[in-house]
Amino acid sequence: MARYTEEEIEQIGVVNYCLDNGYKIHHSANEVGGSTAQLKMRAIKAKRMGTSKGFPDLLIFLPIKGIMKNVEAYQPLAIEMKRKGKSVTSPEQKAWGKVLEMAGIPFKVCKGKEEAIAFIEETAKGIYEDCI
């Protein structure tokens, strides 16, 4: 049976919220470290294939309807999940956040499911208000 950290449990809650609301979502599996030779080889392979240290945990695509007749577009947003309480955002995570924001993609480091869902809802509300 799989064991989950507190952060993973919170993230699963966010994923379920997104799926329940019809949002497209992707998790970038950057958890490739480890002490065994097999885990180290997996980390090397992932890095060569484009895994980037500090990239956000979740990319979520919110549908934008009503911009033009029969056209649907998406607004991406990115979330770096952290456990509630004391947690540290790495320099690489901060740098990715700046890159995403400069590209016009809302980004936030969220401590727990509730903060992440509030960010998603706040972003969605702003998108839909802009379309009306």
| Segment 38-97, tens digit of pLDDT | 778 877 888 888 888 899 999 999 988 765 555 578 899 999 999 888 889 999 999 999
Instruction: Identify the pLDDT of residue 114.
Output: 96
Q: Which residue has the tokens 């947003």?
A: 77
The yes-or-no verdict on residue 104 having pLDDT over 50 is: yes
Q: Provide φ and ψ at 93, rounded to 5°.
A: -65, -40
Instruction: Identify the pLDDT of residue 2.
Output: 73
Instruction: Identify the pLDDT of residue 132.
Output: 47
Instruction: Identify the pLDDT of residue 64.
Output: 82
Give the pLDDT mean for 90-112: 96
DSSP 33: -
Q: Where are the domains of the chain?
A: 6-131
Model confidence, pTM: 0.84
CATH architecture of 6-131: 3-Layer(aba) Sandwich (3.40)
Nearest CA-CA partner of 126 in 61, 58, 64: 64
For residue 100, give both structure tokens.
């995403």
**Could you read off the pLDDT of 9-37 as tens digits, one per residue?**
999 999 999 999 989 999 987 765 556 77
Instruction: Identify the pLDDT of residue 60.
Output: 97
